[in-house]
Amino acid sequence: MLMRKHSRINMPILKILTIHNNEKTLRQKSEEIVIDKIISCEMQNFFKNLEKTMRASDGIGLAAPQVGRLIRVIAVNTLATSSSVNGDKIEIFINPKILKKSLLTSTMEEGCLSIPGIFGKVKRHRKILVEYLNKQGEKIRQKFDKMPARILQHEIDHLDGVLFIDRILK
């Protein structure tokens, strides 16, 4: 989960795994979800609980592996900026793929609830084109820039078993 440096922590709905006792799970690659499963009651409930957990943890992004599910699902607040959250528009991205990345990059400090107390500067692409399925199983292609692009890259890394500490600039 990408998080703000000074966040307040409430009780999440789902247990967030940390690197201290769950590094093996956090480092595994997640499996894609088939469309039939997306619309199941079980999966729709999981999407709601992922969103609630992200909100309760004061996060701006959360990946399914961070709550122990090795599936390609992330929740992202697409209204977040580098200095604040301008409202609350949490979107679920299923089987997200980055199709294009801008050459232009930016470096910014990141943190993660799965790695408590650690922050570091990470270089990310400023603009990306992402293809994903929404909660209804519809395929979407959308461009993101600035902070939403950063959050998506951070969370998609989680789906591939990559943690932000692997990308901290030395």
Q: How far is CA 58 from CA 8, 66, 90, 110, in A?
A: 6, 15, 12, 14
Catalytic residue numbers?
155
Q: Residue 28 corresponds to which tokens in the numbers above?
A: 């595994």
Give backbone dihedrals phi and psi of 72, rounded to 5 degrees, phi first: -85, 75
Cβ-contact 85, 79 below 8 angstroms: yes
**125 known member of a binding site:** no
Give the pair of three-digit tokens for residue 152: 């998506």
- The 8-class DSSP code of residue 156 comes to H
To 10 degrees, the CA torsion angle through 15, 46, 65, 151? Answer: -100
